[in-house]
Amino acid sequence: MFRALHAKQNVQLTIGLMIGVFFGFLLQKGGVTKYDVIMGQLLLTDFTVVKVMLTAIVTGKIGVHLLKSLGRAELHPKPGSFGSTVIGGLLFGIGFGLLGYCPGTMAGAVGQGSLDALFGGIVGLLIGVGLFSEFYPILEKKILSKGDFGDLTFPRLFKMNHWFLIIPLAAGIIALLVWIEISGL
Amino acid sequence: MEWLSLEQWSPYAVGVGIGLLSCVAFLLSDKPIGCSTAFSRTSGMIEILFRGQKVGEKAYYKKFAPSIDWEWMLVLGIFIGAFISARLSGDLRTEWVPAKWSATFGDSVFLRWVVSLIGGTVIGIGARWAGGCTSGHGISGTLQLAVSSWLAVICFFIGGIATALFIFHVV
């Protein structure tokens, strides 16, 4: 681990910016900053979003776990609960279907000139996260903590070595992508 | 360098690129790529402008301080990177109503604005409720084999597909 590098705050801000620039460039080149492409995915007529995401997951999954095996990276899985992950996830989905962008692709959409993403999406998103922070204490107490399972990962859940999950899962995802291509989706 | 000005790259090339970028983020910054907390921090910064420093006392802003951090710079970078990409391919143009929207709902700017504002608000609530978005859960979390992230991304798409089919085919 590059601990000294991780501790340099200003350098980190610059690295964050650079990673963002490459990320935004790739998202726009992939077409996934476009409303038409994202809605095509949600209407199940255009599988570009799924192709990008699944390929990124396979590549990243193998890469990050290799870095971990080499002692160069640590995992940071997010904690979850049924009250937070399932209800929040479904709410997110409803917003996703109405808006046609997600928080990251929305920043990219603004960069390519989509005004609905700027004046609708970004403004709405800021209102939404503001409302959430206002009601967070009560939501935390009543809903978010229900059915808490912490930062569980599948290797810990199934008590097995992560490579025994990563390799079959990667093979399954690649098979699914090949099937999507063959079906002409 | 002609490939830099292509309008669209293969989704598989883009996916491999994003996967490698995730590895770089873990290696150089010890951080998974994510986007939605940057908006919480921004919302907090805006609230401070209007209501003063006491805003920082709110429980949620104790968790996610209203200040510029790595992820905030990442989101700024996404905007810049997409701008460069669109500029190079001639894809850069201001547009209020996307083609797919206008084919079904007409070209009213007001209607598109209202629906995107509502959608943005709901997605903002949902992203912080679920503790992540399509990047943080959908890519960074799933690649770490996190149970929460696989569950979240399945719910994102169930909600998204149901809503999209409903507004395009029923309404």
Q: Which of B16, B71, B117 sits opposite A16 (nearest CB)?
A: B71
Element spanning B130, H or E: helix B109-130
pLDDT, average across residues A156-163: 96
pLDDT confidence of residue B99: 97
* Distance, CA of A162 to CA of B144 (rounded, Å): 10
Interface contact B103, partner A, CB < 8 A: no
Supply B83's token pair.
């701008």
Mean pLDDT, range A102-127, rounded to an integer:
98
A chain contacts of residue B148, beta-carbon cutoff 8 Å: 77-81, 85, 149, 151-152
The answer to whether B153 touches B142, Cβ cutoff 8 Å, is yes
Q: How far is A24 from chain B (nearest CA, A)?
A: 4
At residue A33 the predicted structure's pLDDT band, cuts being 50, 70 and 90, is: very high
- For residue B149 the two structure tokens come to 């992230």
Q: Which residue of A has its CA nearest to B23?
A: A64
> Rounded to a whole number, what is the distance in Å from the CA of B53 to chain A's nearest CA?
15
Q: Is A110 within 8 Å of B115 when comparing Cβ atoms?
A: no
Distance from CA of A82 to the nearest CA of B (A): 9
Nearest neighbour of A93 by CB, restricted to B20, B120, B163: B163
- Which pLDDT band holds residue A147 (cuts at 50, 70, 90)? very high
Of B14, B20, B75, the CB nearest to A20: B75
Q: For residue B71, what pLDDT is reported? A: 97
Residue A48 CA to residue A147 CA, distance in Å, equals 34
Q: Is B40 on the interface with A (CB under 8 A)?
A: yes
Instruction: State the pLDDT at residue B1.
Output: 78
pTM of the full structure: 0.97
Q: Report CB contact under 8 Å: B156, A95.
A: no
CA A5 remoteness from chain centre: 25
Question: Nearest 5°: phi and psi at A111?
Answer: -60, -30
Contact B123 A67 (CB under 8 A): no
In this prediction, residue B150 has a pLDDT band, given cuts at 50, 70 and 90, of very high
Beta bridge partners of A94: none
Task: Note the pLDDT tens digit of each residue in A8-17.
Answer: 999 999 999 9
How does pLDDT run across B132-146, given as a tens digit for each residue? Answer: 999 999 999 999 999
pLDDT at B171: 83
> Can you tell me the mean pLDDT for A176-181?
97
> Which residues of A fall within a CB distance of 8 Å from B153?
89
pLDDT at A185 over 90: no
Residue where the block lists tokens 């292509």: B6
Closest Cα in chain A to B153:
A89
CB contacts, 8 Å: B114 with chain A: 120
Nearest to B165 among A24, A43, A110 (CB): A43
With CA atoms as reference, report the closest residue to B150 among B158, A27, B37: B158
Q: Which helix (H) or strand (E) holds A149?
A: strand A148-150
